[in-house]
């Protein structure tokens, strides 16, 4: 098995992920679905050779010691790849994520119009949330590209591993990879604020220590970006509080209400004609939303404020976004209805648009 040829096929088919399992044919993930490649099954020797090529010697030694190995690999002219080696039922496995060499521009990602303005905020905390594979890393990389093209600032990232590589334009950028540029995530985190950054990207908020540093950085005047594996704004606030003991919750709520800029929560939906398109909930931290975050027991009010804040603040709920994607012909009716939080209300909204169009003789084109 020539792993470089397999990776080239992965990119040729526009696949997001590649799974290689001992004694099985490799599998590509295409638009969220799995598809086996018509090649010979991968032997243990094949996978060992791939691991030795894809990971550096320290990462290979770690895999031998603890049966887990993480790293990144660049294939010139093709792309970068995030690599995870692991064992399952005593078989060797690889999970590989494709990272394009070119960081997409924000305007190509179908994100809300408010996002470029959020990216250029002077200070505060911006959280991009969603399940694994929902587009968080790509969106964050594009936001940093937008800053790089528009502001003379110092950007420092702490990633595990580094995914997208940024080429300096107006900004000065230092990308630090755990295990290569710093021994540990916590160690790098403790030093980042001594490195004179204006903008900080923390690859992922994993625990109370990282959360506390993110809040502290935002409070002291930095613009901090990070991710959480949460599904929407309400669950994001709840997750942040869960990092802390109950007696600290009020202090955390008050701090968060003051430093939070926005939460951008993402899902990827099947796109009509192939590919995927993001559905986005965007919450902007207005004065009223800050009050709700700061006061115990009011998080249930967030949804209605996000819905009603669309015209004035550029916010949107998932349902508003999904309805718009359907209207624009980007997703099929069944996809939109299935992914809406209330399918019955979605149908009523469709009927209302259809009825209004019929009454005005527009045929549904207004």
Over residues 158-200, the pLDDT tens digits come to 998 899 999 999 999 999 998 889 988 888 988 998 999 999 9
Q: DSSP letter at 87? A: E
Tokens of 59: 């990462």
Tokens of 152: 């003379």
If you average pLDDT over residues 214-229, what whole number do you get? 96
Distance CA(39)–CA(6), nearest Å, equals 9
Picking from 246, 177, 240, the residue whose alpha carbon sits closest to that of residue 212 is 240
Domains of the chain, each with CATH number or no CATH: 3-99 (3.30.450.90), 106-331 (3.40.50.300)
Over residues 65-89, the pLDDT tens digits come to 999 999 999 999 899 999 999 999 9
Burial 154-191 (b: 16+ CB within 10 A, else e): ebbbbbbbbbbebeeeebebebbbbbeebeebeebbee
Over residues 302-361, the pLDDT tens digits come to 999 999 999 999 999 999 999 999 999 999 999 999 999 888 888 888 887 654 444 544
The pLDDT of residue 365 is 40
What is the number of residues in the chain? 366
Q: Looking at beta carbons, which pairs linking 302-306 to residues 24 or more positions away fall under 8 Å?
A: 302/233, 302/234, 302/237, 303/234, 306/233, 306/281, 306/282
Cβ-contact 318, 327 below 8 angstroms: no
pLDDT, averaged across the chain: 93
Distance CA(11)–CA(78), nearest Å, equals 7
Over residues 123-135, the pLDDT tens digits come to 999 999 999 889 9
H/E stretch holding 335: helix 333-339
């Amino acid at each position: 098995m020539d792993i470089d040829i397999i990776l080239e096929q992965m990119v040729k088919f526009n696949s997001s992920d590649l799974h290689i399992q001992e004694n099985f044919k490799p599998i590509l993930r295409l638009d969220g679905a799995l598809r086996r490649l018509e090649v010979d099954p991968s032997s243990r020797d094949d996978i060992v050779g791939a691991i030795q090529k894809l990971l550096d010697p320290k990462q290979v030694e770690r895999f031998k010691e603890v049966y887990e190995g993480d790293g990144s690999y660049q294939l010139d002219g093709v792309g970068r790849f995030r690599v995870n080696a692991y064992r399952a039922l005593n078989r060797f496995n690889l999970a590989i994520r494709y990272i394009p060499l070119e960081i997409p521009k924000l305007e190509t990602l179908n994100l809300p119009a408010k996002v470029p303005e959020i990216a250029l905020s002077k200070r505060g905390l911006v959280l991009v949330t969603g399940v694994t594979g929902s587009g968080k890393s790509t969106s964050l990389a594009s936001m940093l590209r937008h800053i790089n093209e528009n502001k003379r600032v110092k950007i420092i990232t702490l990633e595990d591993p580094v995914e997208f590589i940024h080429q300096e334009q107006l900004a000065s950028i230092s990308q630090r990879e755990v295990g290569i540029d710093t021994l540990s995530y916590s160690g790098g985190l403790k030093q980042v604020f001594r490195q004179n950054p204006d903008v900080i990207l923390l690859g992922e908020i994993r625990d109370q220590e990282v959360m506390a540093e993110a809040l502290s950085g935002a409070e002291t005047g930095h613009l901090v970006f990070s991710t959480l594996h949460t599904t929407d704004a309400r669950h994001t606030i709840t997750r942040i509080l869960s990092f802390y003991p109950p007696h600290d919750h009020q202090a955390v709520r008050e701090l968060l209400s003051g430093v939070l800029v926005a939460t951008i929560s993402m899902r990827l939906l099947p796109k009509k004609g192939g590919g995927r398109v993001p559905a986005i909930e965007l919450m902007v931290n207005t004065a009223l939303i800050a009050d709700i975050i700061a006061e115990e027991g009011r998080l249930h009010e967030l949804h209605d404020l996000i819905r009603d804040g669309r015209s004035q603040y550029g916010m949107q709920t998932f349902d508003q976004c999904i309805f718009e994607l359907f209207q624009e012909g980007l997703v099929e009716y069944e996809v939109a209805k299935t992914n809406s939080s209330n399918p019955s209300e979605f149908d009523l909204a469709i009927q209302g648009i259809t009825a209004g169009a019929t009454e005005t003789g527009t045929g549904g084109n207004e």
